Amino acid sequence: MAEEIENKTQENIKKEIKTKKIKTRTLLVIIVLAVFIIGSAIINRANYLETLEIGEEYGEVFLQTMKYKRNIAILNFIVVFCTVYITNGLIKKGLRKFFEEEKKEMPHLPNKSLALVFALLTSIIVSNMFLQKTILFVNASQFGISDPIFNMDVGFYMFNMPLIRTITILWSNTSYTFNNIYSRILYNSI
């Protein structure tokens, strides 16, 4: 009888700790999102007013640039979130058999929260890096002159190649960095 009460008490304590962790994580994610939304609104409004001070005719150019930046950030957020979420799921699935062999409890890793915050931070950084190269890529034109080696128009090297190069370099660096950070989190949680 006393053992049952003690077991129920221990289970209740574990449930309370788990509930507190979930509430804390949810609160942190909400705070990060609120800071991002409020900060973005303030910065964008200040930049817009600054552009209007330079000249009313530049307001449309600023809005078009912000549209490109927003679309880049949304696309990047979706790609990074899905990549991180799927990678976390696959890692947890791969580790599950090792924890079962050792008869240890699998640590609960904040998959969605981690993916959301990482994708949000990456989107902020990447949207600024890609803005100029994307505008060049979208507004590309042909020069009518081909290079002698690959027989490609020179416009490709001026307008398209910088974006392709940036995507390739950024993706490889981000993958390396994320895998390194995530491995350290897993190593420390075990």
Tokens coding 175? 């993958």
pLDDT in tens, 63-79: 888 888 888 889 989 98
**Domain for residue 76, yes or no?**
yes
In a domain, 34, yes or no: no
Q: What would the DSSP string read from start to end of 14-77?
A: HHHHHHHHHHHHHHHHHHHHHHHHHHHHHHHHHHHHHHHHH-GGGHHHHHHHHHHHHHHHHHHH
How many independent structural domains does the chain possess? 1
| Structural domain containing residue 167 | 56-189
Is 122 domain-assigned?
yes
Which residues, other chains included, contact 77 with Cβ-Cβ below 8 Å and sequence gap of 6+? 119, 120, 122, 123
> Is 25 a member of any domain?
no
Print pLDDT tens along the chain (190 aa): 556 666 667 777 777 877 888 788 788 888 988 998 899 899 889 989 999 998 888 888 888 888 888 888 899 899 889 988 898 888 888 888 888 888 887 777 778 888 888 888 888 888 888 888 888 888 888 888 998 888 889 999 999 999 899 888 877 887 788 778 877 877 776 6
**Is there a domain that residue 50 lies in?**
no
